[in-house]
Structure 1
Amino acid sequence: MTDRAQSTTVGFVVIFGTVLVMVGLVSVSGFAALEDVRDEERVTNGVRSFEVLATNVDDVAIEGVPSRTTTVKLDGVSLSVGPSVTFEVRVPADGFRKTVETRPLVLDAKSGTRVVYANGAVLREDRAGQVMARPPRPLVTADYARLHLVRTRPVAATSVGGQTTASVRTTANGTTVASTGTAGETVYLNVTSPRHEAWGRSLDSHPQMSCAPVGGETVSCVLTTDETTVSVTDVDVRLGD
């Protein structure tokens, strides 16, 4: 009887321990899956907010609206002004060269995924690679190219974070325009960015452009046209909460 009781007790302990381990594993994996879902939701909301931001900056830089304010729900992610992205336009036939450094806005999720706004484009970057969620909009035909570069630059704070809703106020601060005009001229557009792969794929999809990496973080695009206009608009960016 004693041996049987001990066997029953041992069996109960083993089964109960197994149940606890399984419950623990399910709980851990369940919480991990839930956190993954939450991270993906944060990133999706970030992409949508940055698409609205891009539209608002277009209003300021292109449509002549004095300023716009965009709200971005952070929910534990951080919003900051990132390192410079460089755009260079060269037209050798006319001796023209214009280089613009712009400071992108970066939404950094806990998972390491980033959503980035730079010069009209919204990009998403994670461990799987880089994608262009909202492409830039160069106006290029065989007859003319209209390249509008937006130089965003921070005013005051360069980052905000926490469980809050941030505001991004963008204000126009002047536009310069330069034009060239040589029939059949070759135009080079170089982009230097940590996300140059996404830039290259997006610009190369344009029927008038051909793009290829040229080393480091730079992609170079070539197009042929008869007239090129390059507009550069300075946009001040003020972050707040």
Structure 2
Amino acid sequence: MTDRAASEVLSFALVFGLVVASVAIVSVSGLGSLESARDAEQMNNAERAFDVLGDNMADIYERGAPSRATEVSLGESQLYTDENVSINVTVKDSAGNPTTVTRDIRPIVYDGDRERELVYEAGAVFRVERQGALVLQEPPFVVENDRVMIPVVAAQSSSVESTGGSTVLLRANNRGTDVVVSDSRGSVDSLYFNISSPRNELWRDYFVDDPDFDCGATPIETINGEEYLECEHSNPRVVHVVVYDIGVTIDR
């Protein structure tokens, strides 16, 4: 009887231990799956918010809206305006006379989990991850054979701003428009687009896909310690370059 009772207790302990271990394994793996699903959904929501941000910005620089606000749900992520990037556009006429515009632009960055970012920069939206990066929304440039229009979407803020852990409003206000070049006579000989950005490679990918632009054999150059991308359109003829200054703030 004693041996039988001990055997039953041992069997119960083994079964109970197996059940507890199984529950623990399922709980841990299930929790990881839930966290991955939550993170993926959060990133998808952020992408939809940046789609709306792109449309709202377009309302300002394409349709002249005075202001727009975009709601972004952050959860455990952050939204911030990053260090300025520099854009330079130079247009030369048939006599070689240059017209140049340079703007410092604030990228708007959603910093998600696992080193995943969304970036709104000069009218383009990029997704950056450890495995690589891609262009989600191309900049609003129009390049058609001998006709080029470059809208420089110059998002600006007085300093780097950052917030996290809540739902925020990204406010954008129209600060004016500067028509730098408006030549419909076909007298433009060349156009150079130059940018210094942590996302130079993504800008290069965009321009390389356009046969009218030439970014050279070694498109990323280092000047005074900064990397620059320069791409040339050698026969644009009709050119319009317009700068849209847009003030941005992040409000809780």
**TM category, shorter:** 0.7 to 0.9
SS at match of 2:215: strand
Between stretches 194-203 and 103-112, larger displacement belongs to: 194-203
CA–CA distance in structure 1, aligned partners of residues 49 and 101 of structure 2: 31
Structure 1 counterpart of 2:247:
236
Q: In structure 2, do the counterparts of structure 1 residues 60 and 11 end up closer, same or farther at CA, with 3 Å as the change threshold?
A: same
Structure 1 counterpart of 2:229:
219
CA–CA distance in structure 1, aligned partners of residues 13 and 38 of structure 2: 37
Give the AA of the match of 2:192: Y
Instruction: Extract unaligned runs of 5+ from structure 2.
Output: none
Structure 1 counterpart of 2:58:
58
What are the equivalent positions in structure 2 for 1:5-84 lying under 5 Å apart?
5-6=5-6, 8-84=8-84
CA–CA distance in structure 1, aligned partners of residues 127 and 107 of structure 2: 13
The structure 2 residue matched to 1:176, chosen from 168, 175, 178, is: 178
Equivalent residues of 2:83, 2:160 under 8 A apart: no
| Equivalent residue pairs, number | 240
Equivalent residues of 2:125, 2:135 under 8 A apart: yes
SS at match of 1:111: coil
SS at match of 2:46: helix
Instruction: Extract unaligned runs of 5+ from structure 1.
Output: none
Equivalent residues of 1:174, 1:233 under 8 A apart: yes
The structure 2 residue matched to 1:124, chosen from 111, 121, 127, is: 127
Q: CA deviation at 1:42?
A: 1.1
CA–CA distance in structure 2, aligned partners of residues 33 and 215 of structure 1: 43
CA–CA distance in structure 2, aligned partners of residues 146 and 168 of structure 1: 27
The structure 2 residue matched to 1:202, chosen from 206, 211, 221, is: 206
Structure 2 counterpart of 1:96:
99
What are the equivalent positions in structure 2 for 1:115-194 lying under 5 Å apart?
115-154=118-157, 158-163=161-166, 165-179=167-181, 183=187, 185-194=189-198
Q: CA deviation at 1:104?
A: 1.0
Q: In structure 2, do the counterparts of structure 1 residues 155 and 214 end up closer, same or farther at CA, with 3 Å as the change threshold?
A: closer
SS at match of 1:80: strand
CA–CA distance in structure 2, aligned partners of residues 219 and 4 of structure 1: 81
CA-based RMSD: 2.5
SS at match of 2:193: strand
SS at match of 1:65: coil
Deviations 1:127-168 (Å, cap 9, x if unpaired)?
1111111111211233232111111112588122213x2111
SS at match of 2:157: strand
